Amino acid sequence: MGIVVQKFGGSSLDGPKKIKNVARRVIECSKAGNQVVTVVSALGDTTDKLIELGTQVAECQSRREMDMLLSTGEQVSIALLAMAIKDMGYEVISLTGAQAGILTDKTHTKAKIIEINPERLSKELDEGKIVITAGFQGITNDNEITTLGRGGSDITAVAISAALRADVCEIFTDVEGVYTTDPRMIPEARKLAVVTYDEMLELASLGAGVLQPRSVEFAKIHNVILHVRSSFNHRDGTIVREDRYMDNNCQMEKDVVVTGVAYDLNTARIGLFDVPDRPGVAHGIFTALSRENINVDMIVQGAMRNGRNDISFTAASEDIEKVLEIMKPLTETIGISKITCDRDVSKVSIVGAGMITNPGVAAAMFEALAEEEINIHMISTSEIKVSCIINKGETERAVASIHKKFNLDKTDQYFLGRIK
Ligand code: ASP
Ligand code: MG
């Protein structure tokens, strides 16, 4: 008998029919002889709707009250799923994040899990119950309800898997696994059998959307094997683990170049003009942002003239108001002449460890964009990725062109991915 943690996202729980479908799926896993903890998100787009409601009643959001509001979404899901399972004749109990022992820090709306006390979970499992747990939420040690940031149910599932030393953490979603790119956008996208944590981390944080990036980091640290699969069929999905070629004595370095093409529509570019060129300025700007928990992504500092630089950087769209708010007083103290903000951009990236030893890879990506006459606003590269900021309206054409350029629609998936 094993311990299986399952996670079902909002799209798998959208309405009574789908909830019953999930209930059957949970029961199946339990009947196969496993102890099952199922983590659920809010139904459908409930969280979006709650956020909208919140912004309609108040211009200035209290993050604490936002957590109070958003945590209700998952509470609805656990109750409904537990009712459905009970009705099918199985022993089950629903638990909120707090009841499941999920302790977080005090950063409302973006809390981090500090610790899981799995006592209650283990007790219920030992009594033979299926446990349904609310994703995305936890509690501080002052008994304040927190949420973990958008998509946070994945983190809950991985953290519980680590705490219970589960055999596998199954992430059920509305796609069949991790693809070479978004199959909803590009029909030629192909499913990958295995990706490594590092590849997945890049794909997820680059906007591939299947897994919450922090959940992948967490899985990597605690060595939790993930299985990303569809809630609507029983086909194998994609395994995410440390080593891509664990089962194969493989020597395919020469062919391995690019694993996938990711895009992120949820990005905006901030430009700072005439920033004084002296030590400590970048430190001042980016410390102020990090203090407010703003994740800055690409940072580019342009060539210096007359003792001044231009700096541009990107951040998530939802953080941009906050970024501007933080930057305003700073522009005066530092002496920056102008700030611009461009929300009409997206980020397109290629990922794969093979590119580090292949100098032509970035060039091929730029060629694919040039062929579509797509202008590049910013470029950044790392060991296993190349990212470009382009106009948002051109994202789909860009992804299609790059996907094709690297033969991701054709190559045997075995030959894609990371070089060991
Ligand atoms: N319901 C939350 C959200 O939509 C958490 C999740 O879905 O994982 O962000
Ligand atoms: Mg959701």
For residue 42 and ligand 1, the question of a CB distance below 6 A is answered with: yes
Phi, psi of 105 (to 5 degrees): -75, -170
Q: What is the pLDDT of residue 54?
A: 96
CA 61, 63, 69, 71 dihedral sign is positive
Residues 290 and 419 in one domain: yes
Which of 41, 109, 211 most suits a substitution to test ligand 1, by most atoms within 8 Å of the C-beta?
41
Distance 309 CA to ligand 2 centre (A): 41
- Which atom of ligand 1 lies nearest, measured to the CA of 45? 4
For residue 352 and ligand 1, the question of a CB distance below 6 A is answered with: no
Phi, psi of 339 (to 5 degrees): -120, 135
In a domain, 169, yes or no: yes
Residues 264 and 413 in one domain: yes
Distance 151 CA to ligand 1 centre (A): 4
Residues 409 and 270 in one domain: yes
In a domain, 222, yes or no: no
Residues with CB under 5 A from ligand 2 (ion): 10, 41
Residues 263 and 130 in one domain: no
- CA-to-CA distance for 359 and 378, rounded, in angstroms? 19
In a domain, 42, yes or no: yes
Residue 408 three-state SS? coil
The domain tally of the chain equals: 2
Residue nearest to ligand 1 atom 6, measured at CA: 151
In a domain, 48, yes or no: yes
Look-up: residue for tokens 């007359």? 306
**Last-in-domain residue among 174, 191, 208:** 174
* pTM score of the predicted model: 0.78
Residues 263 and 364 in one domain: yes
Residues 169 and 252 in one domain: no
pLDDT, one tens digit per residue, over 219-235 is 999 999 999 999 989 99
Contacts of 25 (CB under 8 A, 6+ apart): 6, 8, 172, 231
CATH number at residue 141: 3.40.1160.10
Q: What is the pLDDT of residue 117?
A: 97
Residue 377 three-state SS? coil
In a domain, 265, yes or no: yes
The list of the chain residues with pLDDT below 50 reads 247-254, 412-420
Residues 144 and 283 in one domain: no
**Last-in-domain residue among 155, 174, 193:** 174
Q: What is the pLDDT of residue 416?
A: 38
In a domain, 320, yes or no: yes
For residue 43 and ligand 1, the question of a CB distance below 6 A is answered with: no
Q: Identify the domain containing residue 132 by its residue range.
A: 3-174
- CA-to-CA distance for 257 and 415, rounded, in angstroms? 8
Residue 328 three-state SS? helix
For residue 69 and ligand 1, the question of a CB distance below 6 A is answered with: no
In a domain, 218, yes or no: no
Residue 119 three-state SS? helix
For residue 47 and ligand 1, the question of a CB distance below 6 A is answered with: yes
Residues 259 and 155 in one domain: no
pLDDT, one tens digit per residue, over 241-264 is 987 655 444 444 445 578 899 999
Residues 163 and 18 in one domain: yes
**Last-in-domain residue among 174, 191, 219:** 174
CATH number at residue 408: 3.30.2130.10
Distance 150 CA to ligand 1 centre (A): 5
Residues 272 and 378 in one domain: yes
Residues 276 and 163 in one domain: no
- CA-to-CA distance for 85 and 104, rounded, in angstroms? 29
If you count them, how many residues does the chain have? Answer: 420
Q: What is the pLDDT of residue 254?
A: 42
Q: What is the pLDDT of residue 245?
A: 58
> Over the range 114-150, which residues count as b (16 or more CB within 10 Å of their CB) and which as e?
eebebebbbebbeeebbbbbbbbbbbbeeebbbbbbb
Residues 285 and 404 in one domain: yes
In a domain, 157, yes or no: yes
For residue 136 and ligand 1, the question of a CB distance below 6 A is answered with: yes
